[in-house]
Amino acid sequence: KNDPPKTNLTDERDELCFEPQTSDATGYSDTDEAVLTCSKSNTAPTQCSNGQKSKRPSSPGPHPSKTTCVATHTTNTKLHLCLSFSSRNPVCNPIDVEMLSPDSPVCKTLFNNSADQDCDGGFCAEHSAFAKAQVMESQQTIKDSDPGSSTKERDHLPAMGSEDAEIAEHSGSSNMSQDLIESQPDAILQRSLERFSLQLFFFFVSCPSHNIETKWQGTPIDELNRLPQCAPPLSHLKSAPHHTVTVRTDLLREGEVPVPYPTKFKDAWDDSSVKMPCSEKNLFPMETEDGNGVQSRWDLIRTALQRGFKSCLDVRDAILRYNTAHAKKWDFTALNLLCTECLEHCEVQQLFDTILPAMVNLALTAPRLCTMPIPLLKSRMNQSLTLSQGQIACLLANAFFCTFPRRNSRKSEYGNYPEINFYRLFEGSSPRKIEKLKTLLCYFRRVTQNTPKGLVTFTRQTLNNPPDWESSQTQLTRLHITCEGTIEEHGYGMLQVDFANRFVGGGVTGHGLVQEEIRFLINPELIISRLFTEALEYNECLIITGAEQYSKYSGYAESYKWVGSHEDETPRDDWQRRCTEIVAIDALKYRHFLEQFLPEKMTRELNKAYCGFHRNNANRKHLSAVATGNWGCGAFGGDTRLKALIQFMAAAEAGRDVAYFTFGDAQLMKDVHDMHAFLTERRVTVGQLYDLLNQYFNEVCKNCHTTRPDVSLYRFIYETVSSPAASDTLNSAKDSGMSPVTSDSH
């Protein structure tokens, strides 16, 4: 049994110190070792954690400050939250994300000895041999075009792009006759030089980089579009047939708590709405003298919760009082460990005297706060729901106390919906559960002390007419790629990708603790989407606008730690939503590596990403950049380099730039940036890249008898695009006037 570390979480402000005074630290920090300590009197000095600018853009509009820092020194020895970077389970190398990519297959194939030699952005030891080989390539090209040259003479020279040419330092003559060059037509010489330059570019791109010092490449991140600066004016907020709004929009004011609408609770116990715990039709079976009877389950909930709690056993007994069918199954070990082994006595006292009673009061306000029936966002629907942050807090408090009816079994009518009641969060002795509980109790402390004053919108979007990828003339958009930082921190104001499960939130209320679960924990208002969002279909996504961040964290998966309370300074839009837009898109899970290169699989992922990035009738100048990373990789078996290209294609077709976070993988950063630069320079369109991906499957993967192909995807693209035939095709496309089609036309 791995006992969770004991953590003092109290400070002098009479708060459950789910609030240590540290700098903001994230789970993808590069530091080798750090101890994050909460202090009553001392604040840890901080230093910038990466080379990117964290300042807000200088364009008009509110620009809340946000800086990425890591704690560098601490003094308090009593109150601490330890962040361990052990070699066994390092933070920068989580099990669910491919963090450190293997050596480039291109390099392994092209340069036999490159692993033993450094390239400093310029010339490798093989450079002279490579250059000489290319001179001979040019000579061969000229001789091949000369009717007077013999077949024997042509065959003696190495073929362009072959391995022999790349290592042949002494094969053939290294002295080309100048008068031979001058005797040939200019067009032939120009083609020779062009081929040489392409191969030389390929050489530099493929050269392994063992000492990559740069932390980002591509377009500076501050040049990419962000909300609210790029956003168009919003129309007046009001309910519509496909948009349910649960507050009085005429009374919506900045800095004021939204007023629920309608005034009185409207019950709806049907197949289109969430079945609420306070519904009159929520009945509980009971034995009577006359036989079997029923009573109001809401009355039973109120009675059980209002008795008060003196220990976690009281919490367990209260929850099981109205969930008797699960009394022998549900386990409250994690909650018990939190109270008995992880919190100080004063913290436990405050938890039971202040925080839990406030959560009970919040949960029991449901008939007054959540007065409008909450629609289910079912599959194949384009539907939006806007709730107040106060209403979401009330619903989450009910989820904590497991009050939602018919939501405790996969065999119920809600079997195609995610779990919402928190009973799985309380079970087991995993340290993950302890840290999850700390993170969520921080949220509940905050919202019970001060009611949040904004709104959050949930939109289920279905893509009925996907793009014709094969014929697309759209070119790739701009890219910023970095091996430092996180999507939520450095991608502020952008469309932030949630690497989702089709059941949104994944294992957030269970054992899961990777990218999606962490985001749902630090922005707990995302969790309420599980109450009403049916499992996503292949052509659907969920967009959440306005979710607030309440906690800081460090680590990932087993190393995840709650660090402290976070004050979200993101500005609000005219609908009083935080300018934080998150899109949940679920990738496919692959049993075998080669499976993902099937054309139908790649097309599915393209359509899924495009569904998340696309906005109907939007002008691209009003679209924020996409902040994303290794979507569907790690546990889902996706190839990082393929998934990067797929997301670039979808973003281009949707008219968005891309900020790509590799989460510590500097080699991946370089490989992806170099490929993007190569494709952009060659003006390769989305349609041409789609064709290249299909060619790769047909020529490399289709008849592959090993678990992984001998030729990597990027090597195949480099060689194919650099070939003379491809050059002719691309040049003819330019000459015919084919130009990129802006996303506004799609």
Is position 501 annotated in a ligand binding site? Answer: yes
By annotation, the residues acting in catalysis are: 498, 516-517
Distance CA 238, CA 250 (A): 9
CA distances from 11 to 15, 346, 359, 445, 711 (A): 6, 10, 21, 14, 58
Residue with tokens 């906690």: 551
Residues 6+ apart with CB under 8 A from 612: 461, 495, 497, 541, 543, 583, 584, 585, 650
CA distance 125 to 123: 7
Structure-token pair, residue 181: 């060059």
Q: How far apart are CA 431 and CA 4, in angstroms?
A: 5
- Residue 515 annotated as binding? yes
Distance, in Å, from the CA atom of 200 to the CA atom of 715, rounded to the nearest integer, reads 14
Could you give the CA distance from residue 260 to residue 175 in angstroms, rounded to a whole number? 85
Q: Which two tokens stand for residue 18?
A: 């789910």
C-alpha 401/C-alpha 419 separation (Å) is: 13
Helix axes 389-400, 356-363, angle to 10 degrees: 110
| Residue 153, φ and ψ in degrees, nearest 5 | -65, -40
Rounded Cα gap, residues 482 and 53, in angstroms:
12
Q: Is the Cβ–Cβ distance between 317 and 335 less than 8 Å?
A: no
Secondary structure class of 700 (helix, strand, coil): helix
Cβ count near 533 (within 10 Å): 25
Using only the alpha carbons of the chain, give its radius of gyration: 30
Structure tokens given for 211: 């000492």
The owner of tokens 């991946």 is 668
Q: For residues 482 and 50, is the Cβ–Cβ distance under 8 A?
A: yes
17, 9 in Cβ contact below 8 A?
yes
Spell out the residues 6+ positions from residue 537 whose beta carbon is closer than 8 angstroms to its own: 379, 380, 462, 502
Coil vs helix vs strand at 415: coil
Reading the block at residue 507, the tokens are 């294992």
Cα 376 to Cα 531: distance, rounded to the nearest angstrom: 8
Neighbours of 382 (CB within 10 A): 15
Crossing angle of the two packed helices 640-654 and 713-722, in degrees rounded to 10? 60
What CA–CA distance (Å, rounded) separates 143 from 150? 8
Q: How far is 36 from 219, CA to CA, in rounded Å?
A: 33
Say if residue 576 carries a ligand binding annotation: no
Known binding positions: 501, 515, 556
Known binding positions for substrate: 501, 515, 556
